[in-house]
Every structure is written in structure tokens, then in C-alpha cells.
Chains A and B, each alone.
Chain A
Amino acid sequence: MPFTPPSVDDVLAGLTDRFGTLDASVYRGQTRVVVPADLSFDALAWLKERGFDLLVDVTCVDYLEYRDAKHRYGLVYLLASTTTNQRLTVRVFVDDPDPTVRSVVSLWAGANWLEREVWDLFGIRFTGHPDLRRLVMPEEFTAHPLRKDYPLQGRGERHNFPVITRDHS
């Protein structure tokens, strides 16, 4: 009898058994499940053990101006399995003043730069990250530009960038 992998629904049922009732929904065939911030690492580790071995992306959405939004930031973990081709989106919501979530670099090495980018552009702090520096913005930058309260054309930071002279290069 050929091996049939557990369906995404089965995985979700297992996740609910382990971590309590979770809010799950399906849109355009994509299953999303919301996990509380304090359980996110354990839930993602559990999912990795269940075959979601590929972390496709870690990103974030700032819901500041979004209709009916209950939380400010929504982290997005896009998981996939290289053996069963299933996909699962895990959402973790965090709020100001100190949006923090546990880093998953110890589970997936690929999360390293993805989490750095989220820290850089949204200011979400990942505890336990080995090297949480800015990724794309300059080190001197103080704002997190993909937040919705940051203007499109910036706040004039470019004029105040330090200039490297020949003596100090």
C-alpha cells in the first residue's frame, strides 16, 4: 500500500491537540493558522518535525491602517514540505510597544537573513537570534521604514548620513 502523507487538515488537528484551539482559515486553497506569540517557536518546531522542512519566507505585515485589525504586526511564516509538497502559512501577531518573538534560526538556518530583514524594516525583535543586525538599511538608520507610519519619501535621513572621508575609510 502506497504511503499517503497526512493532509494539512490532519497536521492542523495535531497542532490543535498539542497547543489548544487555534484560529485556522483557508483562502484560495492556502491554509493559514494563527499561533500565539509565546507558542510560536514550539509550534514551528513541532511543524518542522511533522515534515515542513522548508522555510520559504518570513515576513511581516503592519496592520496600522487596516480595517478591523486587532493587532499591529502580523508575522508570516511560509512553510513547505519538500517531500509532500504541502504548504502551510503560520501567522503570529505581536503588538507595540515591544514587538518580540522567538527566533527560529535554530530550526532553519535560512531564517537568519529573513528575520534580520523583518527586524530592519519592521522593528520586530527576534530573541535568540545570533546576529540581529540591519540587513538592507544602513547601520546608522534609526527608523523601520516598512511600518505604515513611516512616510514613502523618508524623513530626510539621507541628508544626515555620515560621509566616509579618505582618512577614515
Chain B
Amino acid sequence: MSIATPTFDTHGPEAGARSEDYLWTLNFGPQHPATHTTLRLVLKLDGERVVDAMPEMGYLHSGFEKIGEHLTFNQYVTVTDRMNYISPMANNVAWHHAVETLLGIQLTPRCTYIRTIIAELARISDHLLSNGAVGLDTGAFTFFLYGFYQREVIYDIFETLCGARFTTSYTRVGGVSHDFTPLVIEKIRAFIRTFPKTLDDMERLLTRNRIFVDRTKGVGLLSKEEATNGSASGPVARASGVTRDLRKDEPYLAYGDLDFQVCCASAGDCYSRYLVRMQEMRESLKLVAQALENLPSGEVNVSIDQRVARPTKQQVYSSIEGTISHFELSMANRGFEVPYEESYAAIEAPNGELGFYIVGDGTENAYRARCRPPSVPHFALFPQLIRGHTLSDVVAVLGSLNIIAAELDR
């Protein structure tokens, strides 16, 4: 992040002083309605045409990785809520997936299914907002409201599940904070019944809408090679023809048991990114329906002999193992065993590969908690996507990349 005058070094020597005279610089952000978050772009314009762009980040840097070295594995989940705040459940799952990889904890079948369901619901709510924002920025306000209404329904499910709508902090080491109740299952079933109709309506509003297609088709082109070379992941990479999806390629949680397809496009423009996200919502809904109908019974947290997940109150008051485990985990100098090792584990978050590189040092705090945010490579790709397009395309490209500053800066 810099406040000083930016320098553009991408001009070739043939761009002489004479043509430079016509260029002007426009500051876009960090406070602008169409950036949606706190990020800044310095655009070099030739009339309406963007000659070059310089993205800046850091306006929302909060030192999450430093905080991660001072909070325990269970406390840090509250910070992950605030990373990609349009799909906090996916961040919760990603964080504890990485912690459990480091500790070597095998989750119960019920827990893997529950986490799969909430991660996919988070993907739907994320895609609804990111596609909605593309629609909003290109003039389709109704589309955005259709999406936002369904996001509210998902928030209601999360509220019924864990009491929080937004900052869910739902997962725990070796389990989750609340098991699914019949009411939650009923609400998710209702969502599965009603959501496809909204999705159909949304597609009818925008997918063949002439104005929207003109605004997004052929805009912000990213080739397959550029996507891989630029470390892109998630829908951005898949819209460019990269077939990588961690749910399929490295099946974690319950994804190995479930039937779904990886959604890809080959054009690599804003329109393909929109299409990939729309289709992924349908696949996510399929995943949620399958996982919910095949939800295994049994314990949701790992067994109390493993001494990682807090026992239930029933176990604390009625069994000696429960009491011991409760005290061991509550006392400051006890807790669970953490190896002197380091590991990386990632999930396919709505935005791309969200991974954590965790170094353990025997204590319940991570020695290093590196978050690999999908937004950083995507935002770095922005200048090459926008070069040659017009100023009005900036918002379309930015929206289709779905840059979330809180995750970008951490």
C-alpha cells in the first residue's frame, strides 16, 4: 500500500511524450460504492479507455496472521469469520480442516457431512452475492435483490443452527459447536425445494439479457495459461478452462461419497465467470440435498478419549471421562497434544483455494498461521484483464473476480 504517486513502468518506449499528454489518472477507491470493499485502483485512462491499472491493497490489513499466533486453535475461528465475510462458514471449515490435518484428527462421519452441507450453503450464498454484485454494477438491480433474498434464507438456516447469522464461528477442533436439529434439517429441506425456482428466475433475468451479455461477454479475458501462471483458482480459473477443483481432485470431508460435477467454461471472460458461478450453485444444491438425505447418525464430535473436542454437558456431569476431558481442555496449561510439525491443508472455498499453512510448536496456539487467500492472485491479475477495455468495464471485471478486501488484506 502506498500513498505516494504511483509509477507506471509498463509503457513501451514507443509511447512517446506526445501520446502521454492525453492520458489522465483516475483514482478509484478505496471508498467507492462499486469496489464493494476497501480496495483501491489507480487507473490510467486515454479518454474512456483504460491504458493501465495499478491495484493497491492493504487498506483493511488487520494482522490476522499475527493474531493467529496468539489465539488458540479454537479461538482463531472467530477471526476466520471476518476474512471472507460473505461466506464465513467456508472459512470456519477451512481453518479447522487445516488444524485437524496438522493434529491428525479423524472426524466422525456425521461431522464430515454436516461440514459439507454448511460449506456448500456458504458457497451458494457467496455466489449469490458475487453474481448479484456483477448484476448490480452492470445495472441489474432486481437480480441482486433476488439473490439477496435467498441469502437471507441461508442466514436464517445458520441462525437456527448456531445462533449467529453472520459471524458463525461454527466449527471446533474435532467437531462443530452445535449438532443439526430437526428444525435445521427442515429449514434446509425447504430451501432445497424453493431455491431452484429463484435460480431459474435469476437465469431468466440475466443469462440471455442483451444488455448484460453485451457488458460482460468478451470483457476481462483470461487465458488458461495466464490463469495457471498467475496462481488463479476457483471459479476464476475454471471459467478459463482450468479443470482444477479440490473437491474432486483431493476429496476432503464427504465429497468423495457425493455425486457432483465440476463446472468449467473455456472463454475466460466475465460472462463465463458468471455462468460458472450460476451452474456451481445448482451443483452445490445437489450436494446439499444428497448430503442431507444421507446424513449419518451417531456422534457429531470425535470421541472424548481423544481429548480434543469439548464433551457435552451430559458427558461432563454423568461420566468420569467426560469430567476429566472437560477439565483437561479447559485448563490453561493442558489442552491437547500438538506436534512440532507443519502442514498445509486447503479447501475449495467459494472464491478458490483457501488454505492454511500451520506450524505447530507443542502449544494450543499456532506458531505460524498462514492463510492462503484466493483473492490475492486474482486481484494481482486485474491490470491484465482490464487493459484496453473502457472505464465502465472496470466494475464488471472487479465484480466478476469477487475480490473481498477483508480476505485480501487479512
Contacts and interface: CB of A to CB of B under 8 A. Distances in A.
A, B assembled together:
yes
A67 B65 contact: no
Contacts of A55: 231
B341 A27 contact: yes
B293 interface: no
Interface string A47-59: 0000001111101
A111 B380 CA distance: 10
A166 to B, nearest CB: 14
B249 to A, nearest CB: 5
Contact of B372 (A53, A78, A111): A78
B175 interface: no
Contacts of A110: 229-232, 377, 380
Contact of B357 (A57, A66, A164): A57
Contacts of A131: 9
A146 B343 contact: no
Interface in A126-169: 131, 133-139, 145-146, 152, 162, 164
Interface residues of B, number: 51
Nearest to A82: B244
Interface string B382-402: 000000000000000000000
Contacts of B70: 152
A67 B1 CA distance: 34
B107 to A, nearest CB: 14
B104 A146 contact: no
Interface stretch (A14-22, A35-43, A93-101, A112-120): A112-120
B42 to A, nearest CB: 13
Most buried by A among B9, B233, B361, B377: B377
Contacts of A145: 63, 66
Interface residues of A, number: 41
A78 B341 contact: no
Contacts of B359: 61, 66
B409 interface: yes
Contacts of B230: 108-110
A34 interface: no
Nearest to A152: B70
Contacts of B232: 110
A138 B66 contact: no
B64 to A, nearest CB: 10
A139 B4 contact: yes
Interface in A61-120: 61-62, 66-68, 76, 78, 82, 85, 89, 108-114, 117
A62 B69 CA distance: 12
Contacts of B409: 136
Nearest to B232: A110
A49 to B, nearest CB: 14
A113 B376 contact: yes
A137 B1 contact: yes
A134 B1 contact: yes
Nearest to A30: B343
Contacts of A114: 231, 376-377
A152 B228 contact: no
A82 B355 contact: no
A59 B380 contact: no
B195 interface: no
Interface of B: 1-4, 9, 57-58, 61, 63, 65-67, 69-70, 101-102, 104, 226, 228-233, 242-244, 249-250, 340-344, 346, 353, 355, 357, 359, 361-362, 367-368, 370, 372, 376-377, 379-380, 409-410
Given A67-B361, A139-B2, 19 more contacts: A53-B229, A56-B372, A61-B342, A67-B340, A76-B357, A78-B344, A85-B250, A89-B344, A108-B230, A109-B229, A110-B231, A110-B232, A113-B379, A113-B380, A137-B1, A138-B58, A145-B63, A152-B66, A164-B3
The 10 closest A-B pairs by CB, nearest first: A110-B231, A136-B58, A139-B2, A136-B61, A113-B380, A57-B372, A110-B230, A59-B370, A85-B249, A61-B368
